[in-house]
Amino acid sequence: MYIPFDELPPQARIWIYQANRPLTAAEQTEIKPLLERFATEWSSHGKGLQASAALLHNQFLVLANNEDATAASGCSIDASVRFVRELEQQFNIAFFDRTQLAFLRDGEVQLVSMNQLKDSIAAGDITKDTLYFDTLVNTYGDLQSDWPRQAQQSWLNRYF
């Protein structure tokens, strides 16, 4: 069962997929109905999930499920991964590249490769206060209240 994204309860579980490039307006227009259809049909052991999906900051695909109603099973999570992989192929985009970190700088999402992270910090391009899109956030409430978050409030803290 589809739930509008902004009506999810704070404890709803989320999965964040970061794109390797910004999605164009045309791509977003095409993807949004696919997301809604997937969320509507998403199920666990034959039982429909109270699910939603959204595109945020032109760069992130977020799937969500109200686990209080029905928990996502391994099979349903596998189905969501297959769906995201299909989007990758259809739109020639990568959502599973974990070598890029996303920061909010001057109102724009900026990607920094893991290989360049230490140099970017040493150069002062990334500071402990730089806003970081932590894809490890796993509840809707945390997404709403603390995303993006200061780099020092994430696993990146060890670099400062």
Q: What is the pLDDT of residues 50-95, one digit of tens each?
A: 899 999 999 999 999 998 877 777 888 899 999 999 999 999 999 9
> For 7-11, 33-37, 41-45, which range has the lowest pLDDT when averaged over its residues?
41-45
Question: Residues 6-21: pLDDT tens digits?
Answer: 999 999 999 999 999 9
Mean pLDDT of the chain: 94
User: How confident is the model at residue 77, as a pLDDT?
Assistant: 87
User: How confident is the model at residue 96, as a pLDDT?
Assistant: 96
Q: What is the mean pLDDT of residues 94-117?
A: 95
Residue with tokens 């996303």: 102
> Residue 122: pLDDT band by 50, 70, 90 thresholds?
very high
What secondary structure letter does DSSP report for 15? E
Cα 54 from chain centre = 9
Is the CB of residue 55 less than 8 Å from the CB of residue 95? no
pTM: 0.92
Token duo for residue 136: 């490890």
Q: Is the dihedral of CA 7, 74, 88, 138 positive or negative?
A: positive
* 127 CB-near residues (< 8 Å, 6+ apart): 121, 151, 160
What secondary structure letter does DSSP report for 20? S
Q: Residue 46 pLDDT > 90, yes or no?
A: no
Token duo for residue 99: 């070598």
